[in-house]
Amino acid sequence: MSNSIPEIRELDFMFIIGSNTTEAHPIIAMEMKVARQRGARLVVADPRKIWLTDYADLHMQLKPGTDVWLINAMAKVIVDEGLTDKEFIHTHTEGWPELKANLAKFNLAEAERVTGVPAAMIRAAAIEYATTRKAAIYYTLGITEHAHGTDNIFSLANLVMMTGHLGVPFGGLNSLRGQNNVQGATDAGATPLYYTGFQPAEDPAIQAKFEKAWATDLPATIGLNLNAIMKGVEEGTVKSLYVMGEDILISEPNTNHLEHGVKELEFLIHQDIFMNETTKYANVVFPAANFAEKDGVFTNTDRRVQRVRKAIDPPGNARPDWQILCDFARASGYAMPHYKNAGEIYAEIASLAPRYAGISHERLDRTPMGIQWPCTSPEHEGTVYMHKGGPVKGKGTFIVTNFRPPVEMPDREYPFSLATGRVLYHYNAGTQTRRDSGTMDKVGECQIEVHEADAASLGVKDGDMVKIVSRRGGIKAKVWLSGRVQKGCVWMPLHFVEAAINKLTIDAGDPLAGTAEYKVCAVNLLPLKAGKPAEAEAELAALRHPQV
Amino acid sequence: MAETFTITVDGKPVVAHAGEMVLRAAQRAGIHIPTLCDDKRLDPAGACRACLVEVDGQRRLQPSCAWKVAPGQNVKTQETSKRVQRHQDVLVSLYMADHKLDDEGLPVETCNGNGLREWAQECQTLSLDAVEAPRAARPGDKNPYITFQPELCVLCARCTRYCDEIEAVNAITLTGRGSETTIGTAGMRGLLDTSCELCGGCIDTCPTGALVEKKAIEILPQQLERKVRTTCNYCGVGCQMDLNVAKVDGVEKVVRVTSPPPGETVNDGNLCIKGRFAYDFIHHKDRITEPMIRKADGKLHAVSWDEALKFAAEGMNRVKQRHGPKAMGFISSARCTGEENFLMGKVARAAFKSGNVHSCAAT
């Protein structure tokens, strides 16, 4: 997030696109509800009628994958109405003429045809955003999990910069990060592009700095991203994996294909708190500690570094992941220092990355609100909102974006567009939440949301079992006429191993980020019951009592 | 920034901001005024009457939670006003006549504390005949997390206001009339059959322990070993929470998760169902507790750490020698700490000379 969570309740306008906030970020949604009750206006763009749409002033129910059209049409309205922030554009940006010229093709009538959102609604939302000072945009994986995910974000960034909603409190472009430490993982350098603190991996000076600190030579080239590593596994060019805390055979796209590759690996280390699909193929399983059993930091979605504190001992011989990694590195022949505690590791991070230089465990222990990076010295207070006085990189670059449809569109054979996501009551692969009673009482089995008209033409009712097939695999789930999806679209949660949705999803990735297109793939639905109710009942029973 | 001026509370000057309530200014100055129905996150209700104070020029005592500050205002609390003191003694006694008491005649302690008990200990209580208020519970409510104990409810409506103003699902509400008023749901259904999302904010805000978590209801606050402030391990909001640790059969366990006080942390004391209640995984029987290696029989066998580490290092070094560092992949985790993600990068790059390191952050 360029801005901060505590600002939300004071906003006057919120544009939420591709974020089912009440289910994926419930506490941020509470802040949005407080703002809404205070009188803030709320515009939601989402293909589904999510909870917030009931609460919103406008719901732009766009067709899946048409975000670039919608956002560019909003940008064109702002240009046509003369509502751009000319001063901001002049002082803080580059590439405006090119962007403005390109926007000419995004007229409202065509936008309505492509996105399915009424032109008047697009126009109203654009004008309101441009003319409200305390106006902020929130997005999450509905924007990024596309093969054109970065185009979606560039389009949103253009909208923010052309209206000057950047570098000010109560504004900005705010990505709501999905996992407890997804921000912190990249911050820390678990990415092929950067060393710790977003220092470019291909920069020889940075490489030299880390070689000196770590007393060894380091690779000079950028490595493979996650999507490419998984493709390497499938193709047999990647021969070993060390996997920490992820069940790749549930969470990565197109898992049937991936599973063949994982079987062929020469060596697989898996480090986790529970056995799962991936441990089936592991040569080594390391038992890890969970968050209540170790020390460290998580960095949340508004760049807030906060302490994780050990409350109890791990069970049996399980150990904190940081100890396992150190022990393993030393066993492999690398002289990893003997860190006494996680605080010493953080001190090394702070010494290597200027943007965290002012942060330490000791300081965090004195700061219940956490510290938001950049925080460059022990005296620096942290950064509530980014880009104050102008974009961090100097000039903000407008990037021209053009519509590219999703990689796999529905056709006669696979007529439905499938999107995947979370429900409030579960978390990712479900290894934690499916071991709790109340979360299972609320949502205990996998359901596929289907539009009434589609259900009628398929001849299925609410509660019937269907097989869902894509070009890559098939799974079963129960039909739910939720009233939330549009015709031609279906939606499923990702938490259920017995309905492992990533057997269906496509492993097409965004060319820049490597993020997979979890939000659009083509599927067909095959009714299961037809004449064999006993069999369908047995299948249903198996789904209700999964072997997790 | 709002206009600032001073008011006088119990003869002492107190800094006040225009528009705020007397209670807030007094609290900031460290002056204690008892309250039951006040929660910083909610609009003032003035419902419980515990915080009544004397305000110069006002004939009646006024609720400090809902009385705005004014320049030069003179306020007296129970510390300096006999009238406020008398009011409190009577009011707390009335509450206690309609409340479950322990053997010493004090409001009972609960796993979530009891604000009425604390307040009663500050007052000269009178012994009044017990009122048998016919407040209904919801005995058929099968939800596994939240229970309502009507004999402890003071009808301050913090829970129902939280459910409306903050969580905005309006699952619970005040129902019934007069002495039958209770915390109800539509048709007195169980919470699983309402719009309730089981966030547990009602438990957190309840001042008397009438709404509590079912799971470890028998473990009172004084039986806890400690509370440990940490960051939630689910989504990316970064809610702060307190892990409540107690000994169960001689073993220290996380028995409860509670909210930090409102105003102190990024989540303002709010938590969702996952953060507050979905902690059973911590002590689940399925946890992996031993290192394991796959032996010639194709099965995983528990071994010592030394053996597992040696086996793992040899396996990875073999791949590096045969195929080079570019044939290796290191998958870090957004579930793990920053330090651990840093170390995974260091293991990949420094120990194996491979840049193929990424986390599930990509997806």
Q: Which of B230, B343, B349 sits opposite A322 (nearest CB)?
A: B343
State the DSSP string of B295-331.
-TTSSEEE--HHHHHHHHHHHHHHHHHHH-GGGEEEE
Handedness of CA A391, A395, A401, A407 (dihedral sign): negative
Per-residue pLDDT of chain A (548 residues; tens, 9 = 90+): 999 999 999 999 999 999 999 999 999 999 999 999 999 999 999 999 999 999 999 999 999 999 999 999 999 999 999 999 999 999 999 999 999 999 999 999 999 999 999 999 999 999 999 999 999 999 999 999 888 899 999 999 999 999 999 999 999 999 999 899 999 999 999 999 999 999 999 999 999 999 999 999 999 889 999 989 999 999 999 999 999 998 888 888 788 888 999 999 999 999 999 999 899 999 999 999 999 999 999 999 999 999 999 999 999 999 999 999 999 999 999 999 999 999 999 999 999 999 999 999 999 999 999 999 999 999 999 999 999 999 999 999 999 999 999 999 999 999 999 999 999 999 888 888 989 889 999 999 999 999 999 999 999 999 999 999 999 999 999 999 999 999 999 999 998 888 888 889 888 778 877 788 888 999 999 999 654 545 545 554 554 444 33
Q: Do A241 and B330 touch (CB under 8 A)?
A: yes
Q: Which of A186, A349, A437 sits opposite B144 (nearest CB)?
A: A437
Question: Beta strand A41-45 with A13-17: parallel, antiparallel or unpaired?
Answer: parallel
Instruction: State the smallest CA–CA distance between residue A370 and chain B in angstroms.
Output: 8
A547 touches chain B (CB under 8 A): no
State the DSSP string of A21-90.
HHHHSHHHHHHHHHHHHHT-EEEEE-SS--HHHHH-SEEE-PPTT-HHHHHHHHHHHHHHTT-S-HHHHH
How confident is the model at residue A498, as a pLDDT? 84
Distance CA B36, CA B258 (A): 19
Interface predicted TM-score of the whole assembly (ipTM), two decimals: 0.93
Instruction: State the smallest CA–CA distance between residue B91 and chain A in angstroms.
Output: 33
* Per-domain residue ranges of chain A: 5-176, 182-372, 416-544
Tokens at residue A47, please? 């293909």
Distance CA B85, CA B10 (A): 13
Radius of gyration for the alpha carbons in chain B, expressed in angstroms and rounded: 27
Distance CA A30, CA A9 (A): 9
Distance CA B269, CA B266 (A): 8
Tokens at residue B116, please? 């009425």
SS3 label, residue B178: helix
Handedness of CA A332, A338, A339, A345 (dihedral sign): negative
Tokens at residue A303, please? 């760049």
Q: Is the peptide bond before A405 cis (omega within 30 degrees of 0)?
A: no
The highest-level CATH class for domain A182-372 is: alpha beta
Spatial contact of B146 and B202, defined as CB atoms under 8 Å apart: yes
A545 CB-near residues (< 8 Å, 6+ apart): none
Question: Beta strand B182-184 with B173-175: parallel, antiparallel or unpaired?
Answer: antiparallel
How confident is the model at residue A545, as a pLDDT? 44
A206 touches chain B (CB under 8 A): no
Low-confidence residues of chain B, pLDDT below 50?
none
Instruction: State the smallest CA–CA distance between residue A68 and chain B in angstroms.
Output: 20
Q: Do B231 and A286 touch (CB under 8 A)?
A: no
A347 touches chain B (CB under 8 A): no
Of the candidates B211, B199, B148, B189, the residue with the CA atom closest to the CA atom of residue B169: B199
Instruction: State the smallest CA–CA distance between residue A531 and chain B in angstroms.
Output: 33
Distance CA A226, CA B124 (A): 68
Instruction: State the smallest CA–CA distance between residue B70 and chain A in angstroms.
Output: 24
Tokens at residue B43, please? 């609009």
State the DSSP string of B146-187.
EEE-GGG-----HHHHHHHHTS-----EEESSGGG-EEE-GG
B-chain CB neighbours of A298 within 8 Å are 231, 233, 238, 337-338
Q: Do A246 and B360 touch (CB under 8 A)?
A: yes
For residue A281, give the DSSP letter.
Answer: G
Look-up of token digits 């906030």: A21
Distance CA B171, CA A461 (A): 29
Mutate to test the interface with A, among B145, B161, B245, B335 (most CBs of A within 10 A): B335
A5-176 in CATH: which number? 3.40.228.10
Q: Which of A309, A331, A518 sits opposite B310 (nearest CB)?
A: A331
SS3 label, residue A184: helix
How confident is the model at residue A496, as a pLDDT? 87
Instruction: State the smallest CA–CA distance between residue A155 and chain B in angstroms.
Output: 20
Phi-psi region of A449 (alpha: psi -120 to 50; beta: other; left: phi over 0): beta
The highest-level CATH class for domain A416-544 is: mainly beta
A-chain CB neighbours of B348 within 8 Å are 223, 242
A-chain CB neighbours of B284 within 8 Å are 274, 435
Tokens at residue B281, please? 């995984």
Q: Do B274 and A427 touch (CB under 8 A)?
A: yes
Domains of chain B, start order: 4-120 (3.10.20.740), 146-213 (3.30.70.20), 221-283 (2.20.25.90), 292-362 (no CATH)
Residue in chain B nearest A298 by alpha carbon = B337
Distance CA A429, CA A334 (A): 33
CB pairs under 8 A between A and B: 479
Q: Do A190 and B361 touch (CB under 8 A)?
A: yes
Spatial contact of A196 and A349, defined as CB atoms under 8 Å apart: yes
Spatial contact of A350 and A364, defined as CB atoms under 8 Å apart: no
Q: State phi, psi for B95 to the nearest 5 degrees.
A: -60, -40
Of the candidates B25, B171, B80, B254, the residue with the CA atom closest to the CA atom of residue A436: B254
How confident is the model at residue B363, as a pLDDT? 53
A278 touches chain B (CB under 8 A): no
> In Å, what is the CA distance from A333 to each residue of A56, A329, A525?
58, 7, 53
How confident is the model at residue B132, as a pLDDT? 83
The count of other CB atoms within 10 Å of the CB of residue B223 is 13
Distance CA A401, CA A73 (A): 12
SS3 label, residue A539: helix
